């Protein structure tokens, strides 16, 4: 019985160590703050590395807006005064657009940016 207990304890310790390792890896995600304003995103060009997790922190002080990156199947509302988070791992290299997909006034149609994934 004591031997079984030791295996359970060792197994639990290994599980905790693996979970801590996952937290460490997640803690190393690249975080990029993206601000939406009538009628632009800052930054408008975001350089990413294929296979490296990234979290976008989206915010606006203007009006309700949207963020869409169809090539990565991502979408989020951007609510004034709140930070919206999108986490993803780019799985392909190239140049990929992102846009505001909620009408935010005259000039909305030119509100876009791009990911450059190397």
Question: Which H, E and C letters describe 19-60, residue by residue?
Answer: HHHHHHHHHCCEEEEEEEECCEEECCEEEECCCCCEEEEEEE
How many domains is the chain built from? Answer: 1
Residue 48: inside a domain, yes or no?
yes
**pLDDT category of residue 99 using cuts at 50, 70 and 90:** very high
Domain range for 38: 29-117
- 56-88 pLDDT tens trace: 999 999 899 999 999 999 999 999 999 999 999
User: Residue 44 maps to which CATH number?
Assistant: 2.60.40.420
Confidence (pLDDT) at 1:
54
Residue 35 lies in a domain: yes
Decide if 67 is inside a domain. yes
Residue 81 placed within a domain: yes
In a domain, residue 22? The reply is no
51 belongs to a structural domain? yes
- The number of angstroms, rounded, from the C-alpha of 111 to the middle of its chain's C-alpha atoms is 19
- Asked if residue 7 is part of any domain, the answer here is no
Q: Is the dihedral of CA 60, 66, 70, 73 positive or negative?
A: positive
Q: Domain for residue 87, yes or no?
A: yes
């Amino acid at each position: 019985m004591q031997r079984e207990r030791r295996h359970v304890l060792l197994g639990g310790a290994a599980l905790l160590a693996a979970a801590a390792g996952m937290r460490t890896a997640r803690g190393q995600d690249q975080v990029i703050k993206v601000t939406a304003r009538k009628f632009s995103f800052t930054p408008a060009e975001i350089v990413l590395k294929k296979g490296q997790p990234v979290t976008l922190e989206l915010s606006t002080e203007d009006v309700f807006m949207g963020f869409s990156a169809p090539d990565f199947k991502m979408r989020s509302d951007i609510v004034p005064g709140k930070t919206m988070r999108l986490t993803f791992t780019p799985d392909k290299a190239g140049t990929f657009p992102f846009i505001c997909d909620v009408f935010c006034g005259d000039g909305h149609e030119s509100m876009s940016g791009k990911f450059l994934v190397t």
